[in-house]
Amino acid sequence: MSEIAILGAGNGGCTYAGYLSMKGHDVRLYEFPQFEENLSEIKKIGGVKLKGTIEGFGKVKLITTEISEAIKDIETIMVVVPAFAHRKMAEVCAPHLKQDQIVVLNPGSTFGALEFKSSLNEYGNNKDITIAETSSNMFGCRKFGPAEVNVMALKKVMPVAAIPANRIERIIKKLKIFFEQFYPAESIFETSLNNNNAVVHPVTSILNAGWIESSKGNFDFYWKGMSESVCRVMEEIDNERISVGSALDYKSVSMLQSLKDFYGFKGNTLHEVLTTSPVHGGPTIGTLASPKSLKYRYISEDVPFGLVPYSEVGKALEVETPYMDSLILLASKLNDTDYRTQGRTLAKMGLEGLKKDEIKKYIISGNK
């Protein structure tokens, strides 16, 4: 079997570490030193317990807060952290990453690979590192204990794209050792312009702000919060996302279709699918998927690192995004935070001042 480094010990990182260890791979699990408590129980028992659709115990080879030992001589590195931590992860990795290593963001959210690449350069690493990203987390999962994860679903397919784009076949060959679900995307247009979290989470959180604050999340966010009217606004957000892609000559997949592709769902509308999905809500998941406050990642991550880069790229391409812009403004006021400036701006992605053809060239080749 092969070695792999998993950077991040939250819901997704622990699931990746446990699952791949169960499959017989040698896994190194890293967490930021300031979150060392995330590793204490995992160190104590030597790995991660999984339950749900995947049952078992994965014995993790190395559990550490030292980034140098986590990624030394490791060819494949998976970053499994929230989008707001991508820049910080690039900072800690920058002094240690070597040429020919592959860094895969799981997921990249919206143009995460661009920000990671730009951040590496900013922190002094200009080596030929291949940065890749997936369009989503491979697992539907949530920790229910310090070293235990409930796995609700393992996705059927998962696109991966790279910067530079022409290296994707080499990357897929490496990644298929770990997951057969990975398949090559032509570029990060496909992975970043199909970020469903940015479409579904912010609008539902903002339009259910009263419920979230008064009940502390004690309601079924998907099955109850995604009413027909909420889903109509969601469809407008999805249309704007598709329009940004069209301006870059990329045809985005609708959120409805991608949900069907990922999970095999059936339904004719977003409302029909999202309010019946057992992966997201209902008797098993229910209130577990509901944010307990408006500062939960559905807003604090998916607005600045999902909607903001869509809107920013839209402005650079003269594509109007009024529904996205409204949600960014409302979210900023609700949480008294300027998500526009704190989010993934054109400057942070290395796209500031670039025209359409220049943006396309940079995304495909990694060179301006």
Which residues participate in catalysis according to the annotation? 201, 302
Please say whether the beta carbons of 230 and 275 come within 8 A: no
Phi, psi of 63 (to 5 degrees): -125, 115
Q: Is the peptide bond before 283 cis (omega within 30 degrees of 0)?
A: no
Q: How far does Cα 226 stand from its chain's mean position?
A: 21
Q: Which tokens in the block code for residue 202?
A: 């912010």
Name residue, tokens 């659709």. Answer: 53
Distance CA 127, CA 178 (A): 26
Please say whether the beta carbons of 292 and 219 come within 8 A: no
Distance CA 196, CA 241 (A): 10
Sign, CA dihedral 214-217-223-225, equals positive
Which of the 8 DSSP states describes residue 286?
Answer: G
Please say whether the beta carbons of 17 and 9 come within 8 A: yes
Which of the 8 DSSP states describes residue 294?
Answer: T
In 124-273 the beta strands, taken as DSSP E runs, fall at 130-134, 139-145, 148-154, 158-163, 182-184
Distance CA 106, CA 117 (A): 15
